[in-house]
Structure 1
Amino acid sequence: MNKFIVLIKKEFVQMVRDFKVIWLPIVFIFLGITQPIVTHYLPSILGALGGGQGITIDPSMTAQKGGEVLASTLGSQFDQLGLMILAISMMGIIQTDKANGMLAFILTRPVTVISYIAGKIVSNYLIAAFSVAIGYFASYLYVNYLFTDVPFSHMITALVFYLVWVLFIVSFTTMISTIFNSQGIIALISIVFLIGCRIIVGLSTVIDFVNSASMSKHAMEVLITGSVNSKAIDNALVTLVWIVLILFVTNYWIANKKFNHE
């Protein structure tokens, strides 16, 4: 356990040096407040700029309920630009250690491969979850101010569901960072696959059941309808199974590539 804590501390020290603990939360705060502000003020801005000429503005845009706007923050901001930013920020999570020889050095110490991987995923998940949560909370405050109030219990439930999806994003990007050596390829594969998962949500009940991106859809449904989908818990369990399989592949790949001293 002490070695695991040391690995997590090492990751956080590196995040501080890279200012990741500062810029990533700021980016998600910006994404979080963008959706309610744009949704509320865009018709007025277009009208002031003469946008009424040839442009039809849906009057129901500003009449949306708070839950709908907060759900669109997850779907339109976090699941698109936010997802890309997360993948790019973590594309070197293991690739950097492979390139500079740090991975080989660490594993010559009395450190297991699974402890190394777990330290990477836990530390990066904590900063990712914190960034998403603080951006989501900022959006929640603006939504309550500009639109109708969203029940706090709905907000928290949706956040918990969404953070399961974030854990999958972190785990998958870690696996891709382990397999490939080019950060550009790592970012491209991660972004294309994860956004692809999000796009196909809703096409089939079978696909949705095994698709981890469905957790984002369940989070949005809680905010819009105020009720939890009966399949949400099952989908969360399937997502956790996928994460365990990803950890297994990552562990096997590092061990098979002889990064371990054994």
Structure 2
Amino acid sequence: MNNFNVLMKKEFVQMVREFKVIWLPLVFIFLGITQPVVSHYLPSILKALGGAQGITIDPSMAAQQGGEVLASTLAAQFDQLGVIIIAISMMGVLQTDKVNGMLAFILTRPVTVVSYIGGKIIANYIFVACSVVLGYLISYVYVNLLFTNVNFVDAIIASLFYLLWVLFMVSFTTMISTIFNSQGIIALISIVFLLGCRIVLGLSSLTDYLNPASMSKQAMEVLITGAVNPSVIWNVLVVLIWIVLTIVVTVFWISGKRFNNE
């Protein structure tokens, strides 16, 4: 447990050195503010700039419910630019240790691979989750100010579902960072795969059950309808299985010391 705590502290110190503790929360605060503000003022802006040229303003844009706007924050902001930002912030989580020899050094000490990987994933997940929640709360406040109020319990349930999707993003990017040495390749594979999961969401009920991004869809449904889909339990189980698989692959890859043979 002492080794685990030391590894956790090492990760947080590294985040401070990279100024990640500043820019990542600010990015998600910006994303959280953008959707409700744009949704509220866009009809007025279009009317002022282009109304005289025949642009038709859909009245439903200004009549959106708060839950719909908060759900669109997840879909249009967090699941697009947010995914890219998370992948970029995580691309060097293990690759840096491999390149500078820190990984080999740590594993020659009385530190288990499970503790090392656990410290990496948990520390980074706590930080990324806090950044996402901060942006989500800011968006929640703006939605309640500019649109109809969103039930706080529904917002909490939706955030818990979404954070499970965030955990998969962190564990998957950590796995890719373990396998590859180039940060560019790590970021590219992570972004393409994670955005791909989000893009194919909704194409088929079967693929939705197997798609880790389904937790994002479940979160949006809670915000829009105010009810939890009965199928969510299966989505949760599948996502947890995917997370465990990514962690197992990461542990076995490092245990095999393949990073020394690249």
Structure 2 equivalent of residue 180 of structure 1 = 180
Contact in 1 for aligned 2:179/2:259 (Cα 8 Å): no
The Cα of 1:22 is off from its aligned counterpart by 1.2
Distance 1:233-1:225 versus aligned 2 partners, 3 A rule: same
Paired with 1:257 and 1:53, the residues of 2 have a C-alpha distance of 65
Q: Structure 2: which amino acid aligns with 1:93?
A: V
Distance 1:52-1:126 versus aligned 2 partners, 3 A rule: farther
The Cα of 1:48 is off from its aligned counterpart by 2.0
Gaps of 5+ in 2: none
Structure 2 equivalent of residue 88 of structure 1 = 88
Structure 2 equivalent of residue 60 of structure 1 = 60
SS in 1 for 2:50: coil
Paired with 1:95 and 1:52, the residues of 2 have a C-alpha distance of 55
SS in 2 for 1:230: coil
The answer to whether the aligner puts 1:236 opposite 2:246 as a matched pair is no
The answer to whether the aligner puts 1:31 opposite 2:2 as a matched pair is no
For residues 56-78 of structure 1, give each alpha carbon's deviation from its aligned partner in whole angstroms, at most 9, with x where no partner exists: 22111010000000000000000
Structure 1 equivalent of residue 164 of structure 2 = 164
Point out 4+ residue stretches in structure 1 off by more than 6 angstroms. none
Paired with 1:219 and 1:85, the residues of 2 have a C-alpha distance of 20
Contact in 2 for aligned 1:71/1:224 (Cα 8 Å): yes
Gaps of 5+ in 1: none
Matches within 5 A, 1:1-262: 1-257=1-257
* TM-score, scaled to structure 2: 0.97
For residues 106-154 of structure 1, give each alpha carbon's deviation from its aligned partner in whole angstroms, at most 9, with x where no partner exists: 1111001111111000011001100000000000000000000000000
Q: What is the aligned-residue RMSD (CA, Å)?
A: 1.1
Q: Structure 1: which amino acid aligns with 2:85?
A: I
The Cα of 1:259 is off from its aligned counterpart by 5.9
Contact in 2 for aligned 1:35/1:73 (Cα 8 Å): yes
Paired with 2:4 and 2:253, the residues of 1 have a C-alpha distance of 20
Give the number of aligned pairs: 260
The Cα of 1:209 is off from its aligned counterpart by 0.8
Paired with 2:4 and 2:62, the residues of 1 have a C-alpha distance of 49
Paired with 2:252 and 2:151, the residues of 1 have a C-alpha distance of 44
The Cα of 1:237 is off from its aligned counterpart by 1.3
For residues 139-186 of structure 1, give each alpha carbon's deviation from its aligned partner in whole angstroms, at most 9, with x where no partner exists: 000000000000000000000000000000000000000000100000
